[in-house]
Amino acid sequence: MKRLVVVSNRVADLTKTSQSGGLAVGLADSLKIRGGLWMGWDGRRLNSDEPPEPVVKTTGEITQATLPLTEDDYAEYYLGFSNSVLWPLFHYRLDLVEYRGTFMEGYRRVNAKFADALLPLLRPDDIIWVHDYHLIPLAAELRQRGCSQRMGFFLHIPFPPPEILTAVPRHRRLIEDLLQFDLIGLQTNTDLANLHRYIEEYLKEQVDKDGTVHHGQRKVFIDSFPIGIDVDAFAEMAEEPNDAVQIETMRRAILGRKQIIGVDRLDYTKGLPDRLKAFSRLLELYPEMRKSVTLMQIATPTREEVEAYTEIRSELEALSGQINGRFADFNWTPVHYIHGAVPREALAALFRASQVGFVTPLRDGMNLVAKEYVAAQDPNDPGVLVLSKFAGAAEDLHEALIVNPYDVDDMAKSLCRALTMPLEERKERQNALMKRIRQHDAQSWADSFIEALENCPSIAA
C-alpha cells in the first residue's frame, strides 16, 4: 500500500478529529492505515526571508511537517491572492476581488516554498493529495523539481464558469498548472461542467466522456467527489445530553416556542444578511409567528484582516439590532446572534434542539453544516432543513426545502412551511436525507478519491 502525503494550507490536529470538519475526519483513517505525511503552514508569520525549515513531528504512523510564512507571504499569498482574489472569484463575487501584481508573485513564491520543503520528505512511490485553492500550482512546482509521483488535487470551493474565471490575470497558466495533477476532484457536477467548459473553450483540449483530458503528453482525470461528514459520530454527539442546551430547550418548550438555527463562518458567501432579512419578513408576513419562534445565528469570525469581512460583521450586527428593536418584547428576543465559535458537542445538541436548520449560502462548495443538521435530528421528531439552491449540498439533498438565497420572500415562505410541516412529512424527508448523507460520508469521500488516484495511469506509463 502506498504512503499517503497530504498537503493543505493548514494542518488539522488529528488527535481531535471529533472537533474537526470533513477533511480531517476523512483523512485521519487513511493516514493511519497507510502511514502518512501531512504538510502545511504552521500559522506563524516571521520577518526573515530565510528559507523556512519545516518542523517534522511523527506520532505513530503519521508525520506532520509544518513551516512558517514570512509577513510578505502572509499578505500576498494568504490574504492576497488566495483570499482576496481566488476566494471571491471562485464564489462568483467578481465585485469583491482585490487584485495586485504582488499577490500573484507571492502566491507562486509560497507554492515554490512548499515544493522545496516537501521534496526531501518524499519517497518515490508516495501518492500525493493536495487540498484547495491556496495550492493550485503545487504540482507544477513539484514536477519542475523532478517529481513523478501520482498527484491529486481536491477543490473544496466551487469552480466558477469560464466567463468569471477569465477575470483572473494569467488564468490560462493557473489552469495549465492545475492540469499538472493526475487527478482533479471537484465537489459537484456543476463545478465539473464549468472546468470542462474552460478546458474545451479556452485550452481547446478535449474532455472524454469518462472525464479524461489529454493535456500534451499527459492524461488528467477529472471527477466530482462530494465531501461528507462522519454521520454516526455527529449523530451520537447530538444525542448526548448537553446541560446548557437542554435547559434552554425546556424553557422554550414550556413557552411553546420553536427555534431556527444558522451556523457559519462569518463569510460574505454564506448569505447571512438576506437570511436575517428573511426571518424578519417571516415575522412581517405571518404575525402569528411572532413570539413563537426565534432565530439563533452563530457566526465564527474568520479572515478579519480582509476588508470585506469587517463589513459583513457590522452589517449583521446592525440587522439583528434592527429586527430585535422592531419586534422584541420584554420576554421574547427574536434574534439571538452569537459572534464566536461553539464547541462541536454543543453545536450538535443545538441542531437537534432546533426545528429548522437554515442554511442559505449565496454560493458554497458543499456546506457541511447542512449535513450536520440532518445527522443531528431525532428520527421520531425531526426538524426541517431549509437549504440554498446554490450550496453544493443541494445537488444531492433534494428532500430539503430548497430556496433561492437572494429571494427574501421565498425564504420567508419556506421558513413558515418548515415550521408548520406535519410530523409524517418531516419524518419522510428526514429518512431520505439520512440515506443521502450516509451515501456520501467523510470516509467514502476520502476512499473514493484515493482509489481514483491510485488507478490513474502513472506518468511514466
- Confirm or reject binding of residue 157 to ligand ADQ (CB under 6 A): yes
Stretch that binds ligand ADQ, among 37-45, 62-70, 260-268, 447-455 (CB under 6 A): 260-268
Contact 111, 138 (CB under 8 A): yes
- For residue 230, indicate whether it is catalytic: no
Any alpha helices (H) in 92-242, and if so which ranges? Answer: 101-118, 138-144, 162-165, 171-178, 189-201, 231-239
**Residue environment code for 312-349, b if the CB has 16+ CB neighbours within 10 A, otherwise e:** beeebeebbeebbeebeeeeeebbebeeeeeebeebbb
DSSP code, position 51: P
Closest CA to 451 of 25, 34, 22, 23: 34
Of residues 91, 131, 156, 440, which has the active-site annotation? Answer: 156
Residue from 117, 227, 235, 387 that binds ligand ADQ (CB under 6 A)?
Answer: 227
Q: Which amino acid is at 418?
A: A
Residues 398-437 as x/- pattern, contact with ligand ADQ by CB under 6 A: ----------------------------------------
Of residues 41 and 327, the one with the C-beta less far from ligand ADQ: 41
- Confirm or reject binding of residue 312 to ligand ADQ (CB under 6 A): no
**Proportion of the chain in helix, strand, coil states, percent, rounded to 5:** 50, 20, 30
For the bound state, the minimum distance from the C-beta of residue 453 to ligand ADQ, rounded and expressed in Å, comes to: 17
Residues 19-48 as x/- pattern, contact with ligand ADQ by CB under 6 A: --xx--------------------------
Of residues 267, 274, 364, 441, which has the active-site annotation? Answer: 364
DSSP code string of 289-330: GTTTEEEEEEEE---TTSHHHHHHHHHHHHHHHHHHHHH-BT
For the bound state, the minimum distance from the C-beta of residue 226 to ligand ADQ, rounded and expressed in Å, comes to: 9
Contact 277, 319 (CB under 8 A): yes
- For residue 156, indicate whether it is catalytic: yes
For the bound state, the minimum distance from the C-beta of residue 391 to ligand ADQ, rounded and expressed in Å, comes to: 7
Q: Which amino acid is at 430?
A: Q
Residues 352-371 as x/- pattern, contact with ligand ADQ by CB under 6 A: ------------xxxxxx--
Chain residues binding ligand ADQ by CB under 6 A are: 21-22, 156-157, 227, 263-265, 298, 300, 341-342, 347, 364-369, 372, 392
Active site residues: 156, 364
